[in-house]
Chains A and B, each alone.
Chain A
Amino acid sequence: MEKTVKIKVDGLYKTYLDARGRVYDALKKIDLEVYEGELLCLLGPSGCGKTTLLRIMAGFEQPSRGYVAIDGGIVEKPHVKYMILFQNYGLFPWRTVLGNTEYGLEVNGVPARQRKEKAMELVRLVGLEKFAHNHPHQLSGGMQQRTAVARALAVDPEVIFMDEPLGALDAMTRLKMQEEIVRLWQDKRKTIVFVTHDISEAVYLSDRIAIMSLSPGRISKLVDVPLGRPRNRSGADFARVQDFIYAEFEMSIREEIDYYI
């Protein structure tokens, strides 16, 4: 199958000033190509710049150097075709599940009847039809997550960026949501860039994993995940890939210590 590049990150740097006013690289020379329709995970320890990279890819921040291009066009500001799901969802508490899901259609001029139908369809897709008229605070963390996914899918985006979307969920819900995300991805065939610091989550979800390391934040390794779907978490192959990623991860941390010495 021919792979087309959907997102291209080229020679990207992001520098910030630290507490003492010195310049440091939060992201250093990031080169990355994300293929159309793939599910790619950015995997790395806390503080390695995953959120920063994702926000730049989604157009919420500008790189200090280098660029991000989607479909050949440089990303300069957020666009409704490229949805980002924030770490804490950002659901509107004054709107119901349905109201939240409708939002994107509403501000883009879709007539009321049509957008209600479309939103309801998505609410059903994420399994929240019974809660369509509830407000976010009446939902569990997993349901809030689903609502955020439904809201993003409603505008039929081409790319979805997810920033540790399952981080706040309990272990069981988390596994369930991972399956849901794979199901939705296979159903809708969107390009997904998924940020996580959980190795087994990355292995379960990804076609490829970009392993990131700290100080400066960079991509230290790009790994293909040679597993079919649906994936079996308790299978031997799964464990092997997970061990491999773990080893790479360790190595990237060791490099980092070398870097300091």
Chain B
Amino acid sequence: MKKKEIKKKIFRPVSFLPLEKIIYPLITLLAFTGIWHGLSTMYPTYQLPSPLDVCRGMMELWGEGVIWEHIRVSLFRFSVAYFLAAASGIFLGLLFGWHIRLHAAFDPFVQMLRPISPIAWFPLAILWFKVGDPPAIFIIYLAAFFPILLTTIAAVRSVEHIYLQVALNFGTRERDILTKIIIPAAFPQIMVGLHLALGSAWIHLVAGEMLGAQSGLGFLIIDARNFLRTDWIISGMIFIGLLGLALDKCMGWMEKRINLLWGHVMKN
């Protein structure tokens, strides 16, 4: 009897009404905003502006077009760094994944570099790249590079042996093995790395733009603090969060398409 009940609980299909999907987060949001508003009455505006203040701040940033310039600059840096990281990470990942000896030679080095936070590279980034775009791009690059490199190596390693045997049976040349077998077979897993890296890179975008940059979303936040425009700080944070969410959704959508095409069953 008891067991049956437990079973029922475990296997009960969870079904949402479409409306519920909107209502629940909405309730959370309202509650959060309410508490925030309550707290904000207890502090001066420069320490904790009210939600309404922040809304006004957002409109201001939006209306004057300031925010667009910052977003444009940030997205530019982000794209350059992410693209470089993807290209070099996938290239080296394929190389190390395929050539065991090369991997053995470089792996300890990579393992040692990997745990160093991109933020620890700040001083060097400034010494090497001075100010402007390059240090920010460098930091974002570092944040994206390692996840891509490591997942690509793992992806190549875990290509099913049978694909290689089939390729061998058909007399496939080594060059074709790479382009026609390894890359497509490893692709879904490489996508996972690209997705991880996207998040990591976006998180470090702000950090990267806090040093020496004169524009961008990270700079916006730092700069607003100098003027004690706390409403702009929070507005900037909200913009960063929303953009990050949008990027993640785009990536998730692409990943899903690829998994669908490859016939992978998506977990979750």
**Interfacial residues, chain A to chain B (CB-CB below 8 A):** 58, 60, 77-80, 82-84, 86, 88, 90, 92-95, 103-104, 106-108, 135-138, 155
Contact = CB atoms under 8 A, between A and B. Distances in A.
Contact of B170 (A88, A94, A107): A107
A92 B162 CA distance: 10
A58 B169 contact: yes
16 contacts: A78-B165, A78-B169, A80-B169, A80-B171, A86-B166, A92-B181, A92-B184, A92-B185, A93-B262, A93-B263, A93-B264, A94-B185, A94-B261, A103-B180, A107-B173, A138-B263
Nearest to B187: A94
A135 B263 contact: yes
B76 interface: no
B168 interface: yes
Given A86-B162, A136-B263, A94 B168 contact: no
Given A93-B263, A107-B172, A138-B263, A86 B180 contact: no
A80 B170 contact: yes
A43 B222 CA distance: 76
B40 to A, nearest CB: 53
Interface secondary structure of A, over-half rule: loop
A150 B162 CA distance: 18
A83 B166 CA distance: 9
Contact of B162 (A58, A88, A106, A155): A88
Contact of A90 (B163, B171, B263): B163
Contacts of B167: 107
B107 interface: no
Nearest to A157: B169
Interface string B135-164: 000000000000000000000000010110
Contact of A104 (B170, B173, B184): B170
Contacts of B171: 78-80, 104, 107-108
Given A58-B169, A107-B180, A108-B171, A92 B163 contact: yes
Contacts of B60: none
B170 A108 contact: yes
B144 to A, nearest CB: 25
B84 to A, nearest CB: 26
B176 interface: yes
Interface residue tally of chain B, by bracket?
Answer: 20 to 34
A63 to B, nearest CB: 18
A79 B172 CA distance: 10
- Chain A CB within 10 Å, residue with most, of B173, B187, B261: B261
Nearest to A81: B171
Contacts of A103: 170, 180
Interface string B250-268: 0000000000011110000
Nearest to B172: A107
B85 to A, nearest CB: 24
Nearest to A104: B170
B161 to A, nearest CB: 9
A236 B33 CA distance: 84
A135 B169 contact: no
A103 B263 CA distance: 19
A122 to B, nearest CB: 14
Contacts of A137: 262-263
A60 B165 contact: yes
Task: Find the residue from A83, A86, A90, A108 having the highest chain B CB count within 10 A.
Answer: A90
Contact of B176 (A77, A88, A93, A107): A107
A103 B162 CA distance: 15
Contacts of A138: 263
Contacts of A104: 170-171
A200 to B, nearest CB: 28
Nearest to B263: A137
Contacts of B181: 92
Contacts of A77: 168
B262 A94 contact: yes
B184 to A, nearest CB: 4
Nearest to A77: B168
Nearest to A88: B162
A137 B262 CA distance: 8
A103 B166 CA distance: 10
